[in-house]
């Protein structure tokens, strides 16, 4: 079976600035990988490469069996779920409206919205506007979105940041669910202990590289 993510000595440059020098990642189906590292080493950029949202300057890579930079890799995007540093939501819409929009765009039943909000403990705040929610609530909304869309490749960037222990447990459930479906997860964080609690394997990223 093809690995879900296979990056070999991937480099990312922005003009003369080098962000990643040599990143190699191997993620098999049914497993989870944690990438630990200090601020500024390039964890988020590496994660965005896995999400096909960051172009690479050198090296080779394939996500969900499609080579990076090809039309085939763009077609795989709908099977990828990403929770980044900042939650993705429209501030003027309510929590429920944001999820309903995601449901429409991803062709999921609207009925799943209520269930997803309940799983992250936001069902009673469903009609609250996102710009009136706390950061932690918005992060929970991101998790609800991932529960709704059921991606095959789950990518979480500092997912535990801003979450209380009950919400952190949702992350564990998300990772377990995606693995049971034959998918996989990559989590990045500066908190190595938190990663070890959730991931099957943890690697440490040095400046610009994962050997």
Candidate residues 26, 60, 77, 190; the one interacting with another protein per rule CB under 8 A = 77
User: Per rule CB under 8 A, is residue 203 in the interface with another protein?
Assistant: no
Closest Cα to residue 168, out of 197, 126, 145, 148? 197
Count of residues that bind another protein according to CB under 8 A: 47
How near is the Cβ of 103 to another protein at its closest, in Å? Answer: 9
Which CB atom, from 91 or from 172, has the smaller least distance to another protein? 91
Token readout for 207 is 């400046």
The pattern of x and - marking residues 112 through 151 that bind another protein according to CB under 8 A reads -----------------x---------------x---x--
The stretch among 59-67, 105-113, 163-171, 176-184 that binds another protein (CB under 8 A) is 105-113
Q: Which of residues 35-64 bind another protein (CB under 8 A)?
A: 38-42, 51, 53-55
User: Per rule CB under 8 A, is residue 86 in the interface with another protein?
Assistant: yes
Q: Which residues bind another protein (CB under 8 A)?
A: 14-21, 38-42, 51, 53-55, 75, 77-78, 80-82, 84-93, 97, 101-102, 104-108, 129, 145, 149, 207-209
């Amino acid at each position: 079976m093809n690995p879900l993510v296979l990056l070999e000595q991937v480099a990312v440059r922005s003009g003369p600035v080098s962000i990643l020098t040599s990143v190699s990642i191997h993620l098999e189906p049914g497993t989870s990988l944690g990438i630990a590292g200090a601020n500024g080493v390039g964890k988020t950029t590496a994660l965005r490469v896995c999400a096909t949202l960051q172009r690479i300057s050198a090296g080779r890579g394939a996500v969900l069996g499609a080579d990076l930079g090809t039309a085939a890799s763009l077609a795989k995007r709908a099977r990828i779920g990403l929770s980044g540093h900042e939650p993705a939501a429209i501030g003027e819409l309510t929590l429920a409206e944001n999820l309903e929009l995601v449901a429409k765009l991803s062709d999921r039943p609207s009925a799943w919205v209520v269930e997803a909000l309940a799983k992250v403990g936001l069902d009673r705040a469903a009609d609250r506007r996102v710009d009136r929610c706390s950061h932690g609530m918005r992060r929970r909304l991101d998790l609800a979105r991932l529960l709704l869309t059921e991606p095959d490749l789950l990518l979480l960037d500092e997912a535990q940041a801003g979450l209380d222990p009950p919400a952190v447990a949702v992350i564990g459930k998300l990772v377990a669910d995606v693995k049971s479906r034959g998918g996989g997860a990559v989590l990045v964080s500066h908190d190595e202990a938190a990663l070890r609690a959730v991931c099957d394997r943890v690697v440490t990223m040095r400046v610009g590289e994962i050997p």
